[in-house]
Amino acid sequence: MDFYTLTYLQEQNNVAQFVQYGIVVIIFLVLIVATILYIKDKFQTKYRDLSISWH
């Protein structure tokens, strides 16, 4: 039977938390980029007639 030290268990927990935070940050960045691209596309299509008439 394997027995683990307290330090080993704490390090494993820290690694798991680091990976979890990394995944959350990546998902958050993807959502921000997707939102910006969506809003940019909506803004361009909403005011397309105004931009054509001004040029």
Q: What is the pLDDT of residue 48?
A: 64
**Domain-located, residue 12:** no
The model scores a pTM over 0.75? no
Residue 24 lies in a domain: yes
Is 41 domain-assigned?
Answer: yes
User: Would you say residue 26 lies in a domain?
Assistant: yes
Question: According to the model, what pLDDT value does residue 20 have?
Answer: 94
Domain count, the chain: 1
* Assigned domain for 27 exists: yes
pLDDT at 11: 83
Domain membership flag for residue 31: yes
Residue 28 lies in a domain: yes
Q: Per the domain annotation, does 42 fall within a domain?
A: yes
Q: How far is CA 23 from the centre of its chain?
A: 8
The pLDDT of residue 47: 62
SS3 sequence of 15-49: HHHHHHHHHHHHHHHHHHHHHHHHHHHHHHHHCHH
* pLDDT tens for each residue of 1-50: 778 888 888 888 888 899 999 999 999 999 999 998 888 777 666 666 66
